Structure 1
Amino acid sequence: MAKEIRLDKYLGEMGQGTRSQIKEMARKGRIYVDGQPEKKPERKIDPAHNQVELDGRIIAYAEYEYYILNKPQGVVSATEDSRYETVVGLILDRKRDDLFPVGRLDIDTEGLLLITNDGDLAHQLLSPKKHVDKVYFARVEGELPSDAKERMKEGLELSDGTITLPADLEILNQGQNGALSEIRLTIREGKFHQVKRMFEVLGCSVVYLKRLSMGSLTLDETLKPGQYRPLTEEEILRLKSHGKERKAEDVG
């Protein structure tokens, strides 16, 4: 049986106004359902079968939305901010007004960010118990110690005493004579400023950071910083099945 919802809830979730505003729209005859004016905002409708129009525009309904964003520097991973532009604000053609970023990237960090309103999926990807791989590319200043890979693999003690989970470090280019090193790091948690703090323990500093992947979702390299696209059905299914697999592992 299809899930029915109130007309005012339908329009509210699609960002068309508050409940009182939608009630006034209905009173003025601005809302149509299946081609007929609808004065009762409390009416139950089936989003899969009823067509809703506001001021002559069809308002399509989406229960969940999923976007992959190549986050640029200078934008904050938040739904709203009084000082900076937000990652959610970059999704210009979103239908829903309850989208949020799954996890956070620092304001000066670039790369993959999932934007959605699917709370269950976000929990599966962010829960420390799930150990979802997050892969980063970084340029690092300072000489990496010879045992950097081993220390990352064992887990590091951060400056506040926090012990990180084992991480995999791949040195792509070992900087010589003061040149920057380029690395790829895979972590399975997301503590505050974690990647930067891990390299500080090694006596280095991260000068550029970009997230390449999260679980099964990989950054679309055709997306320039600030650009985004909806996830494909295949990408959504892979993310959800990854969460289920982790859940089964936890039970086992």
Structure 2
Amino acid sequence: MDKVLGNLGYGSRTELRKQAKMGLITVNGEIVKDSGAHVDPYQDVIEIAGERVFYRKHIYLMMNKPPGVLSATEDRRDRTVLDLLDEKDAAFEPFPVGRLDKDTVGLLLLTNDGALAHELLSPRKHVPKTYLATVEGEVGQSDVEAFAHGVELDDGYMTLPAKLTVLSRERRNVVISHISLTITEGKFHQVKRMFQAVGKKVVFLKRISMGDLSLDESLPEGKYRELTEAELKLLGASL
């Protein structure tokens, strides 16, 4: 029991032992004072201080990643997206599925389901990812056509075809273009490098979808929530 509850973030084994001795843990309505008792987390009804414990093997989180935070599990200098998680969710040891640059915001999936993460990131699957971007420079039809054929990056790599849509333009000191871009791969700094290849600079970047899963726009930057069953099905349909 202490292993099940510990994995769910309800406390250390020492803390759970104390709670059990205090009579705060029940299994199927019966007080269990031995925190090492055997339980079936999928069948038994476990409660702590009257709160039902729901066990699950995997966790699936949608985060609206804020700027200035790394899409990594740990870093010596900067905060990572895992630092934004509550203790109970961090106990599942989720990791980000793919990466968003430090200054990029938007949809980030975190899970401990390695099989799903592998499928979503597999180059063979070509799972589409859509971004909104603000670009310095006048993005036009020639860029749309270039992206549709694939552009050569600074290291000589030729990207797969991508769908570029110009949403609007405005004039400040320079022309600013607002665009959406859907790519089906995930090379290092790919969106920024694609625009660099056509002589333009991305100044703001936000991912809004991954496969059929879209960012919940009501989710503030830096916040997250668990995926709904419907969203999980949408994610699976993308594979």
Matched, 1:47 2:41: yes
Distance 1:178 1:36, change over 3 A: same
Pick one of 99, 108, 111 that aligns with 1:116: 111
Pick one of 187, 193, 197 that aligns with 2:189: 193
Pick one of 212, 216, 225 that aligns with 1:216: 212
Matched, 1:141 2:143: no
* Residue pairs, 1:107-186, within 5 angstroms: 107-144=102-139, 146-176=141-171, 178-186=174-182
1:146, 1:239 → 2: CA distance? 32
Q: Which runs of 5+ in 2 are unaligned?
A: none
2:197, 2:225 → 1: CA distance? 37
Give the letter aligned to residue 114 of structure 1. Answer: L
SS at match of 1:105: coil
1:126, 1:152 → 2: CA distance? 21
Give the letter aligned to residue 192 of structure 2. Answer: K
1:84, 1:59 → 2: CA distance? 34
Offset at 1:9? 3.5
Checking the alignment, whether the CA contact within 8 Å between 1:27 and 1:39 is kept in structure 2 is no
1:9, 1:202 → 2: CA distance? 55
Distance 1:51 1:82, change over 3 A: farther
Of 136-145 and 183-192, more deviation after overlay is shown by: 136-145
Checking the alignment, whether the CA contact within 8 Å between 1:77 and 1:86 is kept in structure 2 is yes
Matched, 1:22 2:17: no
How many residue pairs match? The answer is: 233
Offset at 1:154? 1.3
Give the letter aligned to residue 159 of structure 2. Answer: T
2:50, 2:216 → 1: CA distance? 36
Pick one of 62, 65, 73 that aligns with 1:71: 65
Offset at 1:90? 2.0
Checking the alignment, whether the CA contact within 8 Å between 1:33 and 1:53 is kept in structure 2 is yes
1:208, 1:183 → 2: CA distance? 10
Distance 1:111 1:27, change over 3 A: closer
Offset at 1:93? 6.4
Per the alignment, residue 85 of structure 1 pairs with 79
- Give % identity: 48
Give the letter aligned to residue 195 of structure 1. Answer: V
Of 171-180 and 185-194, more deviation after overlay is shown by: 171-180
1:33, 1:50 → 2: CA distance? 10
Offset at 1:112? 0.8
2:196, 2:6 → 1: CA distance? 46
Checking the alignment, whether the CA contact within 8 Å between 2:58 and 2:111 is kept in structure 1 is yes
Question: Aligned Cα RMSD in Å?
Answer: 2.6
1:16, 1:40 → 2: CA distance? 12
Offset at 1:241? 2.8
Offset at 1:86? 2.0
Matched, 1:102 2:97: yes
Checking the alignment, whether the CA contact within 8 Å between 2:20 and 2:35 is kept in structure 1 is no
Give the letter aligned to residue 104 of structure 1. Answer: R
Q: Which runs of 5+ in 1 are unaligned?
A: 1-6, 244-252
Distance 1:202 1:94, change over 3 A: farther
1:223, 1:157 → 2: CA distance? 35
Offset at 1:123? 1.5
Distance 1:53 1:22, change over 3 A: farther
Offset at 1:223? 1.4
Of 51-60 and 79-88, more deviation after overlay is shown by: 51-60
Distance 1:135 1:8, change over 3 A: same
2:161, 2:214 → 1: CA distance? 21
